Structure 1
Amino acid sequence: MPRTRSSTTHARYWRWLGLTMAAIGLIVLSANWAERHELATRTAALRQAAAAHVLGLRGLVEKHDFLPYAAARHPDVLALLQAPQDSALRLRVNHYFADLQSTTGAAALFLVDRNGLTLSSSNWNQPSSFVGESYRQRPYFETALQGQRGLFYGLGLTTGQSGLFIAEPVRGPAGIMGVAVVKISLEPLQAAWRRGIDPVLLRDSRGVVFLSSQPEWLFQARQQLSAADAAWISSHRQYGSRSQFAVLPWQVKPLPDSAAYGLQTTVQGLHRSLLALDTALPELGWTLTVTSDMKEVTQARQLALALSTLLLALLLLASLYWRLREKRFVEQRSARLELERRVEERTRDLEEAHTFRKAMEDSLLVGMRARDPQGRIIYVNPAFCAMVGYSAEELLGCLPPYPYWHPDDLEKQARVSQDVLQGRVVPHGYESRIRHKDGHDVITMIYTAALVDARGVHRGWMSSVVDITAQKQAEARQRDQELQLERSARLASVGEMASTLAHELNQPLMALSNFALAARALADRGASSLLAETLNDIIAQSQRASEIVKRVRVFINPQRAQYENLAPADVIHHAVNLLKPELQRHHVQLQLQLEDGLPPVRGDSVLLEQVLMNLIHNALHAMQAQPPGSRRIQLLCRQQEQGVSVTVADSGPGIPAEQIEQIFAPFFTSKPDGLGLGLNICRTIIEAHGGRISVENSPTGGAAFTFTLALAS
């Protein structure tokens, strides 16, 4: 009898052990299944995100793909390659490139001859002009010379700014004569990535990251570069002067039966576990990597473990219930009540989660609108309803034109809506004016993305709508305030103008007095010929005083100036002659260096003389502490490509470095009795003439003020 009881106990032990192992196996299998299912879902989402990014990249490239082709076939471009010394032809090509760049939004367009020298560029009139630069070592130049289209991403040799270069050979009667190049900036795309949560990056064919939402990953490689690859990048200066590329701080873990892979890394100082997917762009030679947080996959596994455990616990309780219902009715009832309590808690948790999600949607300040592929509105959140003034019941099911479309923009909004429904989504959003139900206008920014379900089926389009009306109104108020400040600054300069006019009028008035005394003496002596000459001088000086008085209004509104074709040398000589007594009184040596054959400029002679006299007066003041023998002013005038430049340089102590940035600001002065408006007035006059004025300290001592004037047309 004891042996029989022992055998029963043994059998019961092994049976329970087997059931326990089976239960553990089921729990593990369910957790693995949930993890694989969530991983597949997240991978599908990554594929959709990658497809959207690839679509945006290809759209950006295709938008500018025709530019070098069109530029290479322009007759002026071919003519410039045949006659590179023709300055008029070069100017026409420069303007043609500038118009193309402004119209298409490209970063730059330029033309390179067969030797790699840039002949023309859209930024020819900027300090960072490409004209005269050599791009012979660039791969796109070498490829284009071989008759093929060149494609290359790297840092600019001149500007240091990154961009995608597309090169097209320019063919002529003698074959390939040069290369037309367009530069596309991807900085706006990178800026949009950086506003996202999950990292996105682009790698070139050698594995170097050149575009990333995480700045610390830029110019790092997926793996250690070979010596040949590093030498190629360095010789072609693809990434500037960089010759060493660190390996990305990634720990990669392959995932079975998945195109994605696990990624352990640090993002902005925080450790993150990511799911990553690579997408190749063979036509560009790039690889796009998109990522998503692995937290959802881990949570899915944990939830499956919890649910499987709960389910098996329920089965176990049911088994115990049937085995012990006669003996342990109270215990069975308690177990049932416990089960009901758990179910109730679970239901309450689900209801709370639903309530939380709805409250979160209701609290959003950004309007959300979903449309099916036909444009029918299928979802709106409360923020969107408040933005347009219509209830969800009034909007759901509506097809274009929607009731909130602005009546003045119906054609434009219909065109934009049709582009979105056909998949031509603007990657950086677009501005739209809508009409609220109560009649007032609302300015919005709309961002649209494809609405794709977990199975990868396109269900429509989801749009985020941001109300920027207040921002637009603030910008308008700021512009109004700036205009008021400019007008106040002009009115404040009238005080300085009064003192300047007093100084300027002093000489013609003194001359009038002297000539009048001389005329009276000549009249007494009866010298009629000398008397007539003296009277002519009186008339000339009175006319000059009248011209000076008439121009006081010009300082309030420089556009009222009387412009005419002027000889620069005449204006300079007249201003110097007016100041010659003062220069002699201060023992200052004035050195004039005027180029021969200077072309005429367009301007107001009295205003330009005022600028010269103000700059020379400032130079006199700056040299007061210098010994008389070392007081020198150099006045240089020479022709430039686009006009004439005039430089006034002194031998004084120069301008302190902390003051040189604000030297032209209103009311800034280093003189104890100055108002700080003289140089500001000079800049106003020069800018009204279409020129610019600047200052720099000379390496040999002293300061040099330079202004430019446009040539007469």
Structure 2
Amino acid sequence: MSRYSPVAAILLAAAIFLFDTLTQFDVAIAVLYVAVVLLSVNFTGRRGTLAVAAICIGLTLLSFGVTHGTDMSSGPVARCLVSLAAIAITTGLALRLAATIAITGESERRYRTIFRATGVAILEMDFSALKARLEAKRSDGLGSIEEIASRDPGFVREALGLMKLVNANDTTFSTFRVPDLDIFRARLPSLIPREMESSILLLLDAIWQGRSHFEAEGIMDAIDGKRLNILYTVAMPTDRKALDLVLVSIMDVTARREAENGLHQAQKELAHVSRVATLGELTVSIAHEVNQPLAGVVTNGEAGLRWLKRPEPDLGEVTASIERMIADARRASEVIKRLRALSSKATPQPTLVDINDLVQDTLTLVQREIASQHVALRLSLADGLGRISGDRVQLQQVIINLIVNAIQAMGAMPVGARQLAILTRASEDGVALEIADSGPGFAPADEARLFAAFFTTKPEGMGMGLSICRSIVEAHGGRLRASARPAGGASFEFHLPADKEAA
């Protein structure tokens, strides 16, 4: 259109001039010059439009001079002034229109540049058919998406078919391995697996409620069959109630999820190594705990034999000896079972855990260490604490690590000054366990780094124990903190939420 606009403007201006000059109609024919001004917007800039307007004004005045000469009758003069005012006003409006078009064009170019070049897949979708379908369901008296889905299990698939793809950027094609828009449009519904339907149901609920934004994670397939973990955002403009233009941005987070899984696996391996290392430090205590029931088995077995070898065997004493042997054997078995659990690489198994029972079981493993280091133990376990949901082995690892750290921290203290306090109490949202020692404590500058990986205050330490402890506690929905005690020493306290069902 802009190619022929200059010619059209010239011809139109010439025709208006001739018509205005050669005819005697009592009308403001020069008003038609406004069409010439508007045409100029298509092929010239601001200055060009002003020049065209000036030419039109000049032609109007020239025509008036040729036609009326020095005749200043009110009628011709009024018509001339009306024409000049119309040209001036139209010029101003045309300039504003041109500026608006330029801004809109620049905005459109910027949007298209971002749309094409951004590293996130962006889809322009038309949800108008889906919106109409939902409104029809609402008119039928259905009150929620859940009610629709319960009556029609295939509604999610139907909804996917009503979401029409209008356009997609280049990143979309590379993400989903598709060559062009037409193939992607045809294959899009099939790239959304069944596992994604629960997320799509939440999106439909957001549309049903009239929300303007929705974000969720999900799973989609590339056209070559590769499974993609995605984070997708749906923007539904509130000024387009029909939802005929909806922007869907999709970010491929597969690599990030794989990295997170790898990191999680590495943390599990490191936690296992830490447990094994801790058990190595407790070898003497473990041997003592196993030897005690084994010695009891031998002693009771010998006693039972002596009662049997008497001229008149005392079967009551024999029975009692055998029962004590069985009890000691079970005790040894329980110790070994706990050690195997701590040293195994089994997947965490959440169960209902009584924190007081867990502390008592853990003390069985470290009792010898406490005694050999001449540590005075003060145990204060509150009654009536709710049970927590968690992995018993992992939580036991945390308690063992904190107790061993406390014992080692007091190694340089005089024997009578080594005091270890273990307390449990109810907290606002669950239970709390505190392990405090009377050692040298830690410097205020180190407090912020205590739980950082590879930071340690022990010359032979790896700096992983407290970091692993915090990771375990936070994975259970709790928090672990350290504080310096006013009287000297350090206190480590962790809070865990109570299990709501158990409560």
**TM-score normalised by structure 2 residue count:** 0.51
Q: Does residue 647 of structure 1 match 2:434?
A: yes
Find the counterpart in structure 1 of residue 276 from structure 2. Answer: 498
Tell me, which stretches of 5 or more residues in structure 1 are unaligned?
A: 1-25, 35-299, 324-345, 395-401, 453-457
Find the counterpart in structure 1 of residue 349 from structure 2. Answer: 559
Write the mapping of 1:356-505 to structure 2, written as runs, cut at 5 A: 363=113, 365=115, 383=169, 389-390=180-181, 406=189, 426-428=211-213, 445-449=233-237, 463=245, 465-468=247-250, 471=251, 473-474=252-253, 476-505=254-283
Q: Is this contact kept in 2: 1:566–1:601, CA < 8 A?
A: no
Q: Secondary structure at the match of 1:406?
A: helix
Write the mapping of 1:97-136 to structure 2, written as runs, cut at 5 A: none
Q: Give how far 1:384 is off.
A: 9.6
Find the counterpart in structure 2 of residue 580 from structure 1. Answer: 370
Q: Secondary structure at the match of 1:465?
A: strand
Between 374-383 and 629-638, the greater mean CA deviation after superposition: 374-383
% identical equivalent positions: 24
Q: Is this contact kept in 2: 1:695–1:704, CA < 8 A?
A: yes
Q: Secondary structure at the match of 2:274?
A: helix
Q: Give how far 1:447 is off.
A: 3.0
Write the mapping of 1:292-307 to structure 2, written as runs, cut at 5 A: none
Q: Is this contact kept in 1: 2:419–2:437, CA < 8 A?
A: yes
CA distances 1:484-524 after superposition (whole Å, capped 9, x unpaired): 11111221233322232234343343566688789989999
- Change in Cα spacing, 1:372 to 1:623, as seen in structure 2 (3 Å) is closer
Q: Does residue 619 of structure 1 match 2:410?
A: no
Residue identity opposite 2:347 in structure 1: N
Write the mapping of 1:115-264 to structure 2, written as runs, cut at 5 A: none
How far apart in 1 are the matches of 2:63 and 2:164? 45
How far apart in 2 are the matches of 1:437 and 1:558? 33
Residue identity opposite 2:258 in structure 1: D
Q: Is this contact kept in 2: 1:623–1:651, CA < 8 A?
A: yes
- Change in Cα spacing, 1:479 to 1:668, as seen in structure 2 (3 Å) is farther
- Change in Cα spacing, 1:525 to 1:666, as seen in structure 2 (3 Å) is same
Find the counterpart in structure 2 of residue 47 from structure 1. Answer: none
How far apart in 2 are the matches of 1:549 and 1:377? 57
Write the mapping of 1:71-90 to structure 2, written as runs, cut at 5 A: none
Find the counterpart in structure 1 of residue 56 from structure 2. Answer: 311
How far apart in 2 are the matches of 1:522 and 1:417? 72
How far apart in 1 are the matches of 2:218 and 2:404? 55
Give the greater-gyration-radius structure (CA): 2
Q: Give how far 1:611 is off.
A: 3.9
How far apart in 1 are the matches of 2:478 and 2:201? 45
How far apart in 1 are the matches of 2:293 and 2:217? 71
Q: Does residue 634 of structure 1 match 2:421?
A: yes
- The one of the two structures with greater contact order (alpha-carbon pairs below 8 A, sep at least 6) is 2
How far apart in 2 are the matches of 1:591 and 1:541? 25
* RMSD (Å) for aligned C-alpha atoms: 6.3
Find the counterpart in structure 2 of residue 673 from structure 1. Answer: 460
Q: Is this contact kept in 2: 1:611–1:682, CA < 8 A?
A: yes
Q: Is this contact kept in 2: 1:619–1:650, CA < 8 A?
A: yes
Between 489-498 and 361-370, the greater mean CA deviation after superposition: 361-370
Q: Give how far 1:539 is off.
A: 3.3
How far apart in 2 are the matches of 1:480 and 1:429? 25
Q: Is this contact kept in 2: 1:626–1:652, CA < 8 A?
A: yes
Q: Give how far 1:411 is off.
A: 13
- Change in Cα spacing, 1:429 to 1:318, as seen in structure 2 (3 Å) is farther
How far apart in 2 are the matches of 1:414 and 1:561? 32
Q: Does residue 702 of structure 1 match 2:489?
A: yes
Q: Number of aligned pairs?
A: 370
Q: Give how far 1:551 is off.
A: 0.9
- Change in Cα spacing, 1:664 to 1:355, as seen in structure 2 (3 Å) is closer
Q: Give how far 1:664 is off.
A: 3.8
- Change in Cα spacing, 1:592 to 1:684, as seen in structure 2 (3 Å) is same
Q: Give how far 1:310 is off.
A: 4.3
How far apart in 2 are the matches of 1:431 and 1:513? 56
* Structure 2 residue corresponding to 1:550, chosen from 321, 324, 340: 340
How far apart in 2 are the matches of 1:383 and 1:513? 71
Find the counterpart in structure 1 of residue 450 from structure 2. Answer: 663
Between 627-636 and 367-376, the greater mean CA deviation after superposition: 367-376
CA distances 1:195-239 after superposition (whole Å, capped 9, x unpaired): xxxxxxxxxxxxxxxxxxxxxxxxxxxxxxxxxxxxxxxxxxxxx
Q: Is this contact kept in 2: 1:446–1:466, CA < 8 A?
A: yes
From the two aligned structures, give the one with the greater helix fraction: 2
CA distances 1:395-423 after superposition (whole Å, capped 9, x unpaired): xxxxxxx9676266999999989997x9x
Q: Is this contact kept in 2: 1:512–1:538, CA < 8 A?
A: no
Residue identity opposite 2:368 in structure 1: L
How far apart in 2 are the matches of 1:573 and 1:411? 46
CA distances 1:421-458 after superposition (whole Å, capped 9, x unpaired): x9x75323567999999898998644344779xxxxx9
From the two aligned structures, give the one with the greater strand fraction: 1
* Structure 1 residue corresponding to 2:287, chosen from 509, 512, 522: 509
Tell me, which stretches of 5 or more residues in structure 2 are unaligned?
A: 1-30, 39-44, 69-94, 116-121, 133-161, 308-316
Q: Give how far 1:305 is off.
A: 6.3
Q: Give how far 1:315 is off.
A: 3.8
How far apart in 1 are the matches of 2:199 and 2:403? 57
Q: Is this contact kept in 1: 2:213–2:233, CA < 8 A?
A: no
How far apart in 2 are the matches of 1:517 and 1:381? 80
Q: Secondary structure at the match of 2:459?
A: coil
Q: Give how far 1:628 is off.
A: 4.8
Q: Secondary structure at the match of 2:213?
A: coil
Q: Secondary structure at the match of 1:509?
A: helix
